[in-house]
Amino acid sequence: MTDSLTPQPNAMELVVFRVGAQEFCIDIMAVREIRGWTAATLLPHAPRYVRGVINLRGPVLPIVDFAIRLGLPSREPTERNVIIVVQAGPRQIGLLVDAVSDILTTRESQLRPTPDVASETAKLFIRGLLAIDGRMLSLISLDHLLPADDREAA
Amino acid sequence: MLDPMAAIRETFFQECEDLLAELETGLSGIGDGTADAGTVNAVFRAVHSIKGSAGIFALDALVGFAHRFETVLDALRGGGLAPRPEVMKTLLQAADALADLIRAARSGESADEVKTRTVEAALTALLAGAAPPMAEPQTAPPETKPPPDRPKKAWRVRLRPSAALYLKGNETSRLLRELGRLSETYRVTLDASRLPDLTELDPEGAYLEWTVWLEGDLYEYAIREVFEFVEDDCELEIVRVDAAAIEADQAAFPSAVHAAAEEAAPAFGLFPPLDEPPAFEIYDIPAPPQDDVAAAPAPKPAAAAGHPAPGPLEAGVAKTELAPVSATIRVELDRVDRLIDLVGELVINEAMLSQRVFEAGLVRASGVGVALEELEQLTREIQDSVMAIRAQPVRAVFQRMKRLVREVAAQTGKQVRLVTEGEGTEVDKTVIERIADPLTHMIRNAIDHGLEAPAARRAAGKPEEGLVRLTALHRSGRIVLEVSDDGGGINRPFVRAKAVQNNLIAADAVLTDDEIDNLIFLPGFSTASAVSSISGRGVGMDVVRQSVQALGGHVSIASRPGAGATFTLSLPLTLAVLDGMVVRAAGQTLIIPLGAIIETLQPRPENVHRLDADLQVIALRGGFIPLIDVATSLGYRAHPVEPERAVALLVEGEHGARAVLLVDEIDAQRQVVIKSLETNYRAVPKIAAATVMGDGKVALILDIDQIVSATRAAERRAEPCLLEAS
């Protein structure tokens, strides 16, 4: 739900998406486009959560299966799945999710810290939590989606 | 963003590169005797411009050297120094030293001072040996026996500046003062006849014309030099006249002149009448009765010719500005690269569109089909034209080789003549940047190992001066570079013995002449019996082969004992596209660079042997080559395909290591646009890059070296077969 159409100080516009039963959101400024799933080309020796690469009108982008990345149960993607193309630093990455559910505006001050009890993986990607209209949304940080060159490589 | 000064500095260094190339070409031309009078001037101007600009950046060492160099070139230009071979040699060395100084200034390092000083001393020696211009035979007669009644030499300089000259911050008074320094006897007249009425006067226009008479034994270049930086912004006429004629001229109208001056002077206030005649006289002449000027005051017809109200000189300005339009522009490489990328996308998109249209059931003969075909044609043409923008002639690289030849010749004590052909052959900039190193190696090799010492050449009945020929040409969509020498050719018994000694071949191996010649490309093989500083250092032709293969090219050799050797490099015209073999393995489409593929095979079960759980080898012409299932190697499937059900490709990586790759099927041979995986992801082991196929899917391009070297450990066990396979 949109609080207001006029931007407020510290206002954040967020894209809300669903993976399994959970809802996540990312800053809309990081989102380049949203497109349907197309079969990716497998990359050898890639971590399981890197589904491969696709051609986005020229540039070649890696596809990160967000469910596997978070350690959630994964299913083979179908045509109903969605790829959110995001800008993470210098790179563009395709984020494979189940569906995009909402776009909403909130304020930075609404953000609650991730509880300490959360797992290490969760803490790596979740910048904080938002409670909006009785829903709990996890705000995603894009910094650690891809394996670093020397760390985390499968 | 670069800060402005750094950007200007960068421009200066870029210009220096152009000027150095011009200098080198010019000097070579003078040395060959193929130069005309303009060449000497061009050479002088190149050094002069470098000096001038270097002064702005306070590059004192550079300015000092350039000044000395320029002085010598000036003597050459003036005829005081004859372009004898040894003179030209020193000048070429000076050009090299100048290039070094510029390079040092660019990188902020200090140049080799000893070398600079040596060359500078050599230049000074040239000057000392050069006869002063006055003593030259042509100009000698008036000096040695000046007959008092003979008319003295004099020059008439007519200068009509355009508005652009003033716009660029030049001043006529400075130019006139410089002229005044040239000669004791000096007269100036001003023609203000073009000056319009105040109402019509353009405050930024230029309406004045000066005529200067100079007496004395002056060279035209000395006068022209004064105008060096304004030449393009003025009308300049320098004519040799008889002093007597001037006197007659002057005598004919001095009173008129003075009369006019008295009237005109108050209006200008610039040249007040002088009571005492100074070293030179100034006349203000509204309209001297001379042909060239008399024709001038005709502003009205010009105005009638369509210009709304042009100042009399504006027509002249337009004329001078039209002439020197540069035929080239400088464009940042990034912009061109972006264009090339986009056109690559266009090509892929066009292919995708065609595929979709025909999938949708439209026939090729339909209107859409025909239009698509035209689109395809156009797209290819755009791609070719865009690639042509980045194409550059190999000239710049060849120029560098001239210097290399001089240096290596000096180091080895051999006499070498470099002949280049096909300097205009164009190739993509990405390739140009990377051919210099292999060429350097091959030329060093040709001089150091190919050419014999002068005494040996004489004994063999050859001229003492060895010949190295560097040729570039286009052949079947590739660029071919040849380095040939007229030396002794490859010493096969020696090469063979060396290879046996280094355990590269078995002592009893039976090799053809060609195979022996190709031994020099093996790693660890260096033909120099003594490691020299020129081409020794333990690295040899294997480095050349390696870097050439990395570019998707190959190198071959043809040698005739006693008559010399020819090395041939064949390279793709660009690194933005790649010739590849499209194959399928475990349902994935992959590209194998065509340059790496030697042949395709159909493996038979009886030729395949298992060495251990992981390694199978195939018997091929008496040797054993490791078999690699591509899909297994990339982790696409756990168990390798049965070799007899697969298609096998014999490939060769760097270092000449070979392997047989197994794939499920071969699809097609195709040119593909190379896409980086690192931009949005990271380097992937065994994968060189990616490309986009006609259906819009990404296909990976295999890194043959990494795939082959992954089985290197196993291969070493089968080392002896390395060569038998060739």
Q: What is the DSSP string of chain A?
A: --S-SS--TTEEEEEEEEETTEEEEEEGGGEEEEEE--PPBPPTT--TTEEEEEESSSSEEEEEEHHHHTT-------TT-EEEEEEETTEEEEEEESEEEEEEEEEGGG-BPPPTTS-HHHHHHEEEEEEETTEEEEEEP-TTSSPPSSSS--
Q: From the candidates B341, B349, B682, which should be mutated to test the interface with A, based on the most A CB atoms within 10 A?
A: B682
State the pLDDT at residue B377.
87
Q: What is the per-residue pLDDT across B127-184, written as a single tens digit (0 to 9) for each?
A: 777 644 443 444 444 444 444 444 457 888 888 888 878 877 788 888 888 888 777 7
CB contact under 8 A, A149 and B675: no
Rounded CA separation B669/B599 (Å): 13
Which residues of chain B does A50 touch, with a Cβ-Cβ cutoff of 8 Å?
681
Cα dihedral B422, B426, B431, B432 sign: positive
Q: With 80 as the cut, is the pLDDT of residue B408 above it?
A: yes
Backbone angles phi, psi at B312, to 5 degrees: -55, -35
Which residues of chain B does A46 touch, with a Cβ-Cβ cutoff of 8 Å?
684
Q: With 90 as the cut, is the pLDDT of residue B644 above it?
A: no
Mean pLDDT across B422-427: 88
Rounded CA separation A137/B615 (Å): 52
- What total of structural domains would you count in chain A? 1
CATH number at residue A83: 2.40.50.180
Is A58 inside any structural domain? yes
How many percent of chain B have pLDDT more than 70?
Answer: 80
**Looking at CA atoms only, how far is residue A94 from chain B in angstroms?**
10
Helix (H) or strand (E) holding B565: strand B564-572
State the pLDDT at residue B250.
56
List, in order, residues 6 or more apart from B527 with CB less than 8 Å away.
B449, B491, B494, B495, B498, B520, B540
Q: Crossing angle for the helix pair B4-32 and B395-412, nearest 10 degrees? A: 60
Q: List the structure tokens of B700.
A: 């990976």
List, in order, residues 6 or more apart from B635 with CB less than 8 Å away.
A44, A45
Poorest-confidence range of B160-174, B488-502, B515-529? B515-529
Rounded CA separation A147/A154 (Å): 9
Q: With 90 as the cut, is the pLDDT of residue B385 above it?
A: no
- Cβ of residue B707 closer than 8 Å to a chain A Cβ: no
Domain interval for residue A74: 11-140
A106, A14 contact by CB (below 8 A): yes
CB nearest to A57's CB, from B345, B588, B697 = B345
CB contact under 8 A, B698 and A92: no
State the pLDDT at residue A62.
94
Mean pLDDT across B441-450: 86
Q: What is the per-residue pLDDT across B54-95, written as a single tens digit (0 to 9) for each?
A: 877 778 888 888 888 888 888 888 777 888 888 888 888 888
Mean pLDDT value across chain B: 76
- Under the banding of pLDDT at 50, 70 and 90, the label for residue B656 is low
- Rg (Cα) of chain B, in Å, rounded? 35
- Under the banding of pLDDT at 50, 70 and 90, the label for residue B526 is low
Q: List the structure tokens of B318.
A: 């337009």
The ipTM of this complex is 0.83
- Cβ of residue B338 closer than 8 Å to a chain A Cβ: no
CB contact under 8 A, A42 and B697: no
- Cβ of residue B632 closer than 8 Å to a chain A Cβ: no
Pairing of strands A99-107, B623-629: unpaired
**Residue pairs between chains A and B whose CB atoms are closer than 8 Å:** 80
Q: Crossing angle for the helix pair B37-56 and B4-32, nearest 10 degrees? A: 160
What is the distance of C-alpha B370 from the center of its chain?
Answer: 43
CB nearest to A60's CB, from B634, B636, B698 = B698
Is A30 inside any structural domain? yes
Which residues of chain A does B636 touch, with a Cβ-Cβ cutoff of 8 Å?
42, 44
The residue type of B113 is: E
Helix/strand/coil (H/E/C) assignment for every residue in B144-174: HCCCCCCCCEEEEEEEEECHHHHHCCCCHHH
Rounded CA separation A2/A20 (Å): 24
Residue from B660, B515, B675, B672 nearest B597 by CA: B660
B535, B440 contact by CB (below 8 A): no
- Cβ of residue B699 closer than 8 Å to a chain A Cβ: yes
Residue of B nearest to A60 (CA): B677
Q: In sequence order, which ranges of B502-540 are alpha helices (DSSP H)?
A: 513-518
Q: With 90 as the cut, is the pLDDT of residue B675 above it?
A: no
Q: With 60 as the cut, is the pLDDT of residue A135 above it?
A: yes
Mean pLDDT across B18-24: 85
Q: What is the per-residue pLDDT across B279-328, written as a single tens digit (0 to 9) for each?
A: 444 444 444 444 444 444 444 444 444 444 444 444 444 444 444 556 77
- Under the banding of pLDDT at 50, 70 and 90, the label for residue A61 is very high
Rounded CA separation A62/B99 (Å): 46
CB nearest to A45's CB, from B680, B685, B699 = B685
Is A3 inside any structural domain? no
State the pLDDT at residue B539.
52
Which residues of chain A does B690 touch, with a Cβ-Cβ cutoff of 8 Å?
41, 53, 60
Q: List the structure tokens of B18.
A: 């152009």
**Looking at CA atoms only, how far is residue A149 from chain B in angstroms?**
7
Q: In sequence order, which ranges of B360-460 are alpha helices (DSSP H)?
A: 367-390, 395-412, 429-445, 454-459
Mean pLDDT across B253-266: 43
CB contact under 8 A, A55 and B696: yes
Mean pLDDT value across chain A: 83
Mean pLDDT across A22-32: 91
A126, A71 contact by CB (below 8 A): no
Which residues of chain B does A58 touch, with a Cβ-Cβ cutoff of 8 Å?
341-342, 344-345, 348, 675, 692
3-state SS assignment for residue B577:
strand
Q: List the structure tokens of B87.
A: 């003179």
Q: Point out which residues pair with B165 in neighbouring strands.
A: none
CB contact under 8 A, B697 and A60: no
Rounded CA separation B678/A53 (Å): 12
Is A72 inside any structural domain? yes
State the pLDDT at residue B583.
95
Residue from B284, B57, B317 nearest B168 by CA: B317
CB contact under 8 A, B684 and A44: yes
Mean pLDDT across B417-426: 89
Which residues of chain A does B583 touch, with a Cβ-Cβ cutoff of 8 Å?
none
